[in-house]
Structure 1
């Protein structure tokens, strides 16, 4: 049975031995409503319907810090999909641009013994002005059988970036915290979490 983190600051801790932490795999899923509705404005009524509204394009990603001090970003922007066979041992499977994929977007984290922290985020790249209409939700599955769910259900107006969860890998195991903090972009979120990246505009 999955655990649901309801509000910001809710935590779930998984105690693991050193050997268990090496073998642990964390799978992260982002899903959202495709929002395929037709226009019902004046011209839609006159001509029997309108063009379908553009489907929201959400991106799953993360900012990470490894135990050796190196840091980076995994996200579709810039084609930074990562790797499971070399650092950072984080991999994003695809860029679902319409919300039409039944399984959304998925990210896997392995070798958590090498990782200090991962801030998992969702970004609205196009198709919606904020998270109020997309019904964003995340599902975390651990290879030890534990599952954690959280919904992005307290969105800010005109804020396209949601720092959804913070995963910290400690000597005792894994601590996951629901963040659900909304920002106007990567840089503002980075200022809050202190990764210290230099940001430039990007496109897909």
Structure 2
């Protein structure tokens, strides 16, 4: 049985939650949160997607002489897709969870902690995209069990031996079962940061609220844990070798 079949037997199409054709809500420092409950989007499966691209300055773009093309200095930095042969970037998507019964844990590629969407923690990582493909990495949250969820912290971290956040253009997008998608861009320049707390999803008095965080840290999951008071014990983790 495939992954999507396991999520909801016979209804794989339900995971096309949200639509790229609808308007998007961009969470910013000034407008940092939105209520899924008030938008009638607090049921069904919430799809959380991470995609990233390299900036052209790191893949050979932008190197032509400004003396020959002076107007290029006035253009914004171009962002292009990339392949494994160009760069070695591995951004990973993860989620710290806390349930209303006190259960705490993490869903992430490291350690194969992929979660479960039909049983606690009701959070499931679909896979590990190591090269920034168009589909990126995706986490599913089963909001039909929202009463069991206290808070979820979605984060992005850089796996070992990869460039820092200032060399990539990353976007985390939330696709609710109803209404517009929600976008959070990771465009701030933090060249030494290894992890970023992107968005918090909290159940506040029976209202499901999505709040932008975008807090970069120079450590990994343990530092995010300390910052948000999760209280988990952390050890060194490794990934399985990528399939060729």
Q: Which runs of 4+ in 1 moved over 4 A?
A: none
Does residue 81 of structure 2 align to residue 61 of structure 1? no
Task: Show structure 1 runs of 5+ residues with no match.
Answer: 39-50
Distance 1:108 1:199 in 2: 24
Distance 2:138 2:208 in 1: 19
Taking the TM superposition and a 5 Å limit, the aligned residue runs for 1:81-160 are 81-99=114-132, 101-110=133-142, 111-126=145-160, 128-160=162-194
Q: State the shift of 1:55 in Å.
A: 2.3
Does residue 59 of structure 2 align to residue 37 of structure 1? yes
Q: State the shift of 1:53 in Å.
A: 4.6
TM-score normalised according to structure 2 size: 0.71
Q: State the shift of 1:138 in Å.
A: 0.6
Against the structure 1 CA distance between its residues 77 and 96, is the aligned structure 2 distance closer, same or farther, given a 3 Å change threshold?
A: same
Distance 1:13 1:77 in 2: 31
Of residues 147, 162, 167, the one that matches 2:196 is 162
CA deviations on 1:90-143 (whole Å, 9 max, x unpaired) are 0000101111x2210000000222100000000111453321111111100111
Deviates more, 1:120-129 or 1:73-82: 120-129
The number of aligned residues is 190
TM-score normalised according to structure 1 size: 0.84
Distance 2:226 2:89 in 1: 26
Distance 1:8 1:104 in 2: 27
Aligned to 1:185: 220
Distance 2:164 2:91 in 1: 10
Q: State the shift of 1:84 in Å.
A: 1.1
Q: CA RMSD in A?
A: 2.5
Does residue 30 of structure 2 align to residue 26 of structure 1? no
Deviates more, 1:52-61 or 1:68-77: 52-61
Aligned to 1:46: none
Task: Show structure 2 runs of 5+ residues with no match.
Answer: 1-22, 61-83, 240-244
